[in-house]
C-alpha cells in the first residue's frame, strides 16, 4: 500500500495536579514511519518519518450546576516540519 506508514505509534501521559484537583495536564508523543506516495503506481515521493510532541491542559468547573470541561492544546510544540499526508 502506498501513502500508508508501516509503523505508527503514540504515547500519552495524563497528570492530575495534586494540589488542584480541577486541573489535569497531558503530553503526547506521536510517531509515523516513512511512507511512499504513489497515486498511480509510479513512485512520486518518499515521505520521511516524523515524530511530534503535543501538550494540553483541561480545567473542570461547574457552570450553572453543570460539570464543564475547558481544554487547551498545543500540537507540535517544537514546531517540527513534517509531511503528514501527500496527495
Place of cell 513512485: 43
- Residues 37, 47 contacting (CB under 8 angstroms): yes
**How confident is residue 43, by pLDDT bands cut at 50, 70 and 90?**
low
pLDDT tens readout for residues 14-40: 999 999 989 999 999 999 999 888 777
Domain ranges of the chain: 8-74
Phi, psi of 22 (to 5 degrees): -85, -5
Place of cell 503506481: 41
pTM of the model: 0.80
Place of cell 492544546: 73
Amino acid at each position: 500500500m502506498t501513502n500508508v506508514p508501516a509503523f505508527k505509534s503514540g504515547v500519552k501521559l495524563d497528570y492530575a495536579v495534586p494540589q488542584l484537583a480541577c486541573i489535569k495536564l497531558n503530553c503526547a508523543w506521536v510517531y509515523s514511519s516513512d511512507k511512499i506516495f504513489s497515486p498511480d503506481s509510479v513512485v512520486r515521493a518518499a515521505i520521511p518519518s516524523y515524530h511530534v510532541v503535543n501538550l494540553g491542559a483541561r480545567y473542570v468547573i461547574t457552570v450553572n450546576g453543570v460539570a464543564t470541561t475547558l481544554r487547551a492544546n498545543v500540537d507540535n510544540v517544537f514546531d517540527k516540519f513534517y509531511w503528514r499526508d501527500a496527495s
